[in-house]
Structure 1
Amino acid sequence: MARGIKGQNKAGDYESFSLDAKKLPAEIRDRAFTSGGYPYDSKFDREDYDKRIHELQIELLKLHAWTRDTGARIVIVFEGRDASGKGGTIARFLQHMPPRTARAVALSKPSEAEQGQWYFQRYVSAMPTRGDIVLFDRSWYNRAAVEPVNGFCTKDQCKAFLKEAPTFERMLIRDGIYLFKIFLDVGHEMQLKRLWARHQDPLKLWKLSPIDFKAVHQWPAYSRAFSRMFKKTDTDDAPWTVILANDKLRTRIAALQIVLSRIDYAGKDTELVGHPDLKIVGDGRLFIDRY
């Protein structure tokens, strides 16, 4: 994939910011959409989006039918910063697909028994059987960022994971699994705006966890952890694709295009699928250049 994505994504100085603030500070509100060097200054047109997502979801159903007919197995890993839009993007993938054969996996923290197992074991049990599609809402990559940043694993455990993950993924691919790794990145101000909005909305409070509250002031630590993750796990066999996700509508379209454009399924409308927007989509190595 072309490198794409330009600009920097430096953290602002918001040490005193709290999600309990009654009003979102004007500097965060005004900078949010274009934060992190986002290349657009306005949202994707809603009418155009509705038409485009409808077209791409029809293509997804073609992909699903091909998967069932051929016995293919597809795994799509979604990682990214807190409030980057992973859940909403996954929902658009699954909106019209049969839930028995296309499903999301969002594992909670490991049980005591799971903590005594091989780290990848509980993820292996969630892999698809013939004809199924599985989307991971966070994945084994918890050990690359969330766990080390929050002290849930040791440095040695993180180091071992980063060494073993590429081998684990090569095993999946050699066994015939189509593996996609998609990372959603947002600017610092956009992340703060979204986290604050969740905290203010009683219908979205469930989305917030103690980890999210801590993330408000952990931007540099996460940036370092993600950069290290990309250096070690962005491989030729299983490359990362990064989407700048400040605009949720553009993000969802790009994510669908990433998957649809890389598989030659029956009945594919190549012209309609098109190619992801290289202003907001790039390869994993590019993340490192942004921080």
Structure 2
Amino acid sequence: MDNDVYEAELFRLQAELVKVQQWVRATGARVVVVFEGRDAAGKGGTIKRITEYLSPRIVRIAALPAPTERERGQWYYQRYIAQLPAAGEIVLFDRSWYNRAGVERVMGFCTPQEYSRFMRQTPIFEQMLVEDGILLRKYWFSVSDEEQLKRFRSRLSDPVRQWKLSPMDLESINRWEDYSRAKDEMLVHTDVPSSPWYVVESDIKKHARLNMMAHLLSTIPYEDVPHEKVELPDRPKASSGYERPPRELSTYVPDHTATLLGDRERDS
């Protein structure tokens, strides 16, 4: 896709998401979006584009770390319930309770009994959310093994993305088929009419982002919310007697940009 076309459509979708945000705040709606998929499938990049122009007071990202010892003694869904939205909020789950169906199942972090219980309870748990009025959307980002490996390799030498590559990610290479079986079984039990899964083909990141965002917008019954037109007032005249304190009394950050500009002038 031509980058100009991508950027134009991305901005259009982001503008629509701002309308969704305003509608959610005005109506008290509650929206939950679950992002799942293999490592390096493009979930994080899509979430970043969705939230770029949205208010963090209304739209939150829930990306929970490994459970603490206390959390492991709770009902499995309990720490995720604490992240659910109140009226007028949107929560994006960057991985969710489906950890149990994926990494915990494949890596042996849960018992067979815990896994079976999860598969039985999850459709019921999600039905409760839906019946209570939460708009629940679930997206699975699907990436090929060749593309995933390519993305892993690109992270090895990238100083700003190396942190994304963990031993767990590398282990997923060796367990590709195990994760595939786990995903297939998860869909059999939890892809139900009241809370279906939507699969996003993500080998091409730009396409995946636009496709997912457009679909999400098509499933939410939002409308334009009227709002008062904002007009900037004229700046009032300075009151007599005020003088700005001398600059020497404040501590300013060093002018790093001046150094860069000076280096560029010398190089040219």
| Both structures adopt the same fold (TM-score exceeding 0.5) | yes
Task: Note the residue ranges of structure 1 that are not aligned, 5 or more in a row.
Answer: 1-43, 269-291
In structure 2, the residue corresponding to 1:216 is in which secondary structure?
Answer: helix
1:63 is matched with 20
* Equivalent residue number for residue 217 of structure 2: 260
Deviation of residue 210 (structure 1)? 1.5
Q: Is 1:49 matched with 2:6?
A: yes
Q: Detail structure 1 runs of 4+ shifted over 6 Å in the superposition.
A: none
CA distance in 1, matches of 2:140, 2:124: 20
Residue matched to 1:35 = none
| TM-score, reference length from structure 2 | 0.83
Specify the alignment match of 2:155 in structure 1: 198
SS of 1:225's equivalent? Answer: helix
C-alpha separation in 1, matches of 2:165 and 2:66? 15
Structure 1 residue 208 corresponds to structure 2 residue 208: no
- How far the C-alpha of 1:267 sits from its partner, in A, is 2.8
Question: 1:159 offset after TM fit, Å?
Answer: 1.1
Q: 1:182 is matched with which residue: 139, 149, 152?
A: 139
Question: Per-residue displacement from partner, 1:255-289 (whole Å, max 9, x unpaired)?
Answer: 11111001221139xxxxxxxxxxxxxxxxxxxxx
Tell me how large the CA RMSD over aligned residues is. 0.9
CA distance in 1, matches of 2:184, 2:101: 10
Map of 1:165 onto structure 2:
122
Query: 2:145 corresponds to which letter in structure 1?
Result: H
Percent identity of paired positions between Structure 1 and Structure 2: 48
Deviations 1:56-84 (A, max 9, x none): 00000001100000000000000001100
Match runs of 1:113-128 below 5 Å: 113-128=70-85
2:48 maps to what in 1?
91
Unmatched 5+ stretches in structure 2: 226-268
Counterparts of 2:47 and 2:203, CA distance in 1:
16
Which letter does structure 2 place at the counterpart of 1:263?
I
- The equivalent residue for 1:132 is 89
Greater RCO between the two (CA within 8 Å, min separation 6)? 1
What is the 5 A alignment of 1:65-84? 65-84=22-41
Counterpart among 189, 196, 205 of residue 248 in structure 1? 205
The Cα of 1:220 is off from its aligned counterpart by 0.3
Counterpart residue number, 2:231: none
